[in-house]
Amino acid sequence: MKDDRFLKDFLDEQYLRYNTRDFIAQDPICIPHQFSKTQDIEISGFWVAMLAWGQRRTIIKKGKELMHIMDNSPHDFVRNCSEKDLKGLMHFKHRTFNSTDSLYFVDFFKRFYKAHSSLEEAFLPVGGKFIDMRSSLSCFHQRFFDSDHAPGRTRKHVATPDRNSACKRINMFLRWMVRKDTNGVDFGIWKKIKPKDLICPCDLHVQRTARRLGLVMRKQNDWKMALELTDKLRGFDPEDPVKYDFALFGLSVLNPDRASDFVVN
């Protein structure tokens, strides 16, 4: 459709506008960008993505605080921390995320990295072959909480499509790990999951702009809505639909008036 071509051109323009290295400093992705070691990027990226509620400035501040507690070496910390080291996490809190959750995150990472070299393996079913994103997210959730000591309260911080969640934060983390281009924002360090398989992270800002632009019709902010949006974006770029997350987020948070050019009534 003609309108779709115009909208694609518009979103491509906005994607290029916001997907630059200038984006990093004001976004939670700046926390894993402090590191070069794969495991440090994975741990810091996953943890700060799970903390991504509220203002970006606060999230970044809490991410830096957390990395400081871990001596700015998260992989070494989770593998070798002592009881004394863990005391530093007892006072760490962000909104409803507290010390109980932090201690379990450390416990999971400690167990996982004893047997695996990359967190990508936790998102792959038995046999290590990617099937689809719903299966990967469900698989990860089961593995993350596969412990008799897993606190029930921590489950609310790690979403799963099995509860019809849009899985915004974990999809954002996956975008960071899987996407790779020449602009240097996303890391692209994982290879078994492909950019074409990602689901768009649907926070309130992205959802609002997607509806204004007529990209989604579903009213509920859930997994089905995330699939609907991603399917629409695949029509614009089948190999890298989630790149438009930059455009939708940027239009909503950084330049909301610009989206009015394409509002669908």
Averaged pLDDT of the chain: 94
Q: Is 150 helix (H, G, I), strand (E, B) or coil?
A: coil
CA contacts within 13 A on the Cβ side of 218 = 16
More confident residue, 204 or 243: 243
What pLDDT sits at residue 253? 79
Among left, alpha and beta (phi > 0; psi -120 to 50; other), residue 71 is left
Q: Is 174 helix (H, G, I), strand (E, B) or coil?
A: helix
Write down the domain spans for the chain.
2-262
What pLDDT sits at residue 263? 53
Whether residue 255 is predicted with pLDDT greater than 70 in this model: the reply is: no
* pTM of the predicted model as reported, rounded to 2 decimal places: 0.94
Task: For residue 113, give Cα distances in angstroms to 22, 119, 239.
Answer: 32, 8, 31
* Contact between 19 and 246 (Cβ < 8 Å): yes
pLDDT tens string 62-112: 999 999 999 999 999 999 999 999 999 999 999 999 999 999 999 999 999
Q: To the nearest whole percent, how much of the chain has pLDDT over 90?
A: 89
pLDDT tens string 47-66: 999 999 999 999 999 999 99
Lowest model confidence (mean pLDDT) among 127-136, 140-149, 194-203, 235-244: 127-136
Whether residue 15 is predicted with pLDDT greater than 90 in this model: the reply is: yes
Closest to 176 in 3D by CA, of 80, 63, 253, 13? 63
Whether residue 265 is predicted with pLDDT greater than 70 in this model: the reply is: no
Instruction: Look up tokens 């509620």; give the residue.
Output: 53
pLDDT tens string 152-167: 999 999 999 999 999 9
DSSP 176-227: HHH---TTSSS-----SS-GGG------HHHHHHHHHTTS----S-SHHHHH
The two three-digit tokens of residue 213, written as one number? 């632009």
What pLDDT sits at residue 259? 55
What pLDDT sits at residue 183? 95
DSSP 6-75: HHHHHHHHHHHHHSSGGGGGGSGGGTGGG--SHHHHHHHHHHHHHT--S-HHHHHHHHHHHHHHTTT-HH
